[in-house]
Amino acid sequence: MTEKPKIAIYGLGACAGCDQTVVDLNEILLQLAETVDIVLWPLAMDFKLSRIQAMQDGEVALSILSGAVINSDHHEMAALLRRKSRIVLAMGTCACFGGVPGLANFCGREEMFNQVYRDAPTVTNPDGVRPQPETDVGGRKLTLPEFSGHVFTLDQVIDTDYYLPGCPPPPALIGNAITAVLAGDLPPKGSSLAPRKALCDTCPRNSRKPGRMDIRYFRRIHEVDADPDECFLAAGIVCLGPATRSGCGEACIRINVPCRGCFGPVPGGVGSAPKFLSTLTSLLTVERDDEIEEAIDSLPDPAGYLYRFCQPSSILGRKSLREEEAEA
Amino acid sequence: MEPYDPKIVCFSCNFGWGYLSGEEALGAVISNWIPVICTGKIDTRHILKAFKAGADGVLILGCPEGHCHFQDGNYQTRKKAYLIRKVLGAFGIEPERLDMELAIDPEGKKIPQLLARMKRRLAELGPVKITGDVR
């Protein structure tokens, strides 16, 4: 009997939502378990790190890694699984573009730690305790992974073969990706295993889009009673559909919530933020300086809106620990 | 240590700035000068990439209101520049490092003066420090 291909599923700086979507494969997962050997999946089964370390290099057919790379443990596990795997798939927006944790890069390490361990209204920490990489407790040394000081995407830390964006990616796309890898039916390295169109192309509201937008100020979805069939942007509600890759099944749009951009940029763009920024301002029809300022000021935290899922992969936010990437 | 000399990337519209002097003549005296067919042609990415590549400031020279050869490219970029300034602030880049001037200067004589004025302002700010750098 030939050996079944080995698959590893691991979450780095992730919320486990991506892992949960693998669970949502339901019956497909049972069929998959017949054809592959899942050697690592902490969400669903016990595993020993030493077992992975003892494997031959390249022994694992596919590693599916979700989450951003935030601390020393993530760096080590990403490097280990890269070494042991023939194909590495970055699953989910955090692994692909940095995701919501990547917003941490908008403040430095100190500011972030102050907020999380001192200033947040829910924090009670009179002694100012901060996590330490090493602590002596009763003569024993306890260790914690150390924060990198920066949130990285997976491909800024290890060579990454394929990408599957989404927060989380829909189960169907995950199923397709795994099937494609097992069948060896893959696009060129570096491809995203998701549709290539922009979300507006598949949006059910597109037919109601006016020929010319007339936005005079921005509104947020909770401030209005949005028409469930009308184009959000036409109503001045910020929707990142024009600059975001489709493939999510319009999950947010269908529950009357505008696109926030979790699928990342359409192919060919360095991040969706600059594209969307240009789109958004071109839709504003106000003319005088004071009107322009008032209209744009009506969008609170524009950087947070535009870079919600992609700060670490953005032009200004990106940093790479890989030499060839850093030079590019 | 050498004195800090701020680097400025200057985009200017061909229809309003320096078209009588020619690109070669002006290019010889203005460094990092990028004449474009219309300021509306300047992509947000061009501005962000300039800062990423080490620019201390970006100056955009466009036509006055109502004078755009392509209807309203200057107006579109004016709106864009205002939003880009706010985004730059989030990255720790002072918004005033992106400046825009709308005027007509066929010989381009004002360009070196505007750059010198901006340099003086940038010198007070010092080099760009993007937030969230690795320790």
The verdict on residue A306 lying in a domain is yes
| Among chain A residues, CA nearest to B52 | A316
The count of domains in chain A is 2
Cβ neighbours of A241 (radius 10 Å):
27
Residue type, A267: P
Segment B6-11 mean pLDDT:
97
Whether complex ipTM tops 0.85:
yes
Segment B7-35 mean pLDDT:
93
What HEC string does chain A produce?
Answer: CCCCCEEEEEECECCCHHHHHHHCCCHHHHHHHHHCEEEECCCCCCCCHHHHHCCCCCCEEEEEEECEEEEHHHHHHHHHHHHHEEEEEEECHHHHHCCHHHHHHHCCHHHHHHHHHHHCCCCCCCCCCCCCCEEEECCEEEECCCEEEEEECHHHCCCCCEEECCCCCCHHHHHHHHHHHHHCCCCCCCCECCCCCEHHHHCCCHHHCCCCCCECCCECHHHCCCCCCCCCHHHCECCCHHHEECCCCCCCHHHCCCCCCCCCECCCCCCCHHHHHHHHHHHECCCCHHHHHHHHHCCCCHHHHHCCCCHHHCCCCCCCCCHHHHHC
Percent of chain A residues past pLDDT 90, beyond the cut: 83
A182-214 residue pLDDT tens: 899 999 999 999 999 999 999 999 998 898 889
Question: Does residue A136 sit in the same domain as residue A25?
Answer: yes
Question: Does residue A166 sit in the same domain as residue A40?
Answer: yes
Question: Does residue A131 sit in the same domain as residue A147?
Answer: yes
Segment B46-53 mean pLDDT:
95
Q: Does A196 touch chain B (CB under 8 A)?
A: no
Question: Does residue A273 sit in the same domain as residue A134?
Answer: no
**In this model, does residue A77 exceed pLDDT 70?**
yes
Among residues A164, A194, A224, the one where a domain terminates is A194
Enumerate residues 46 to 105 of chain A having a beta carbon within 8 A of any beta carbon in chain B: 104-105
**In this model, does residue A1 exceed pLDDT 90?**
no
Cβ pair B87, B127 in contact under 8 A: no
Residue A259: is it exposed, middle or buried by C-beta count within 10 angstroms (0-12/13-18/19+)? buried
The verdict on residue A85 lying in a domain is yes
The verdict on residue A14 lying in a domain is yes
Question: Does residue A223 sit in the same domain as residue A172?
Answer: no
CB nearest B44 (choices: A106, A109, A278)? A278
CB nearest A274 (choices: B45, B78, B82)? B45
pLDDT for the residue numbered A47: 87
Segment A292-311 mean pLDDT:
95
- The alpha-carbon gap from B25 to the nearest alpha carbon of chain A, in Å, equals 32
Torsion angles phi and psi, residue A284, rounded to 5: -75, 130
What does the domain layout of chain B look like in residue ranges?
Answer: 1-19+51-125
Question: Does residue A90 sit in the same domain as residue A184?
Answer: yes
pLDDT for the residue numbered A33: 87
The verdict on residue A321 lying in a domain is no
B87 vs A284: CB contact, 8 Å cut-off?
no
pLDDT for the residue numbered A60: 97
Among residues A175, A194, A213, the one where a domain terminates is A194
The verdict on residue A324 lying in a domain is no
**In this model, does residue B41 exceed pLDDT 80?**
yes
Question: Does residue A15 sit in the same domain as residue A93?
Answer: yes
CA A156 from chain centre, in angstroms, equals 14
Q: Does A304 touch chain B (CB under 8 A)?
A: yes
Could you tell me the CA-to-CA distances from A149 to A3, A74, A120, B8 in Å, in that order?
42, 13, 19, 30
The arrangement of strands across the sheet holding A37-40 comes to A37-40, A6-11, A60-66, A85-91, A162-164
Element holding B112 (H helix, E strand): helix B110-125
Question: Does residue A138 sit in the same domain as residue A154?
Answer: yes
Question: Does residue A239 sit in the same domain as residue A298?
Answer: yes
- The alpha-carbon gap from A317 to the nearest alpha carbon of chain B, in Å, equals 8
Structure tokens at B36: 């474009």
Cβ pair A13, A156 in contact under 8 A: no
- Give the structural domain span for A278: 199-313
Percent of chain A residues past pLDDT 70, beyond the cut: 97
Question: Does residue A8 sit in the same domain as residue A87?
Answer: yes
A120-164 residue pLDDT tens: 999 999 999 999 999 999 999 999 999 988 999 999 999 999 999
Instruction: State the Cα–Cα distance between residues A72 and B74, nearest whole angstrom.
Output: 48
Question: Does residue A38 sit in the same domain as residue A92?
Answer: yes
Could you tell me the CA-to-CA distances from A26 to A16, A64, A206 in Å, in that order?
17, 18, 32
Question: Does residue A290 sit in the same domain as residue A170?
Answer: no
* CATH number of the domain to which A182 belongs: 3.40.50.700
B132 vs A270: CB contact, 8 Å cut-off?
no
Among residues A142, A165, A194, the one where a domain terminates is A194
Q: What value does the mean pLDDT of chain B take?
A: 93
pLDDT for the residue numbered B135: 42
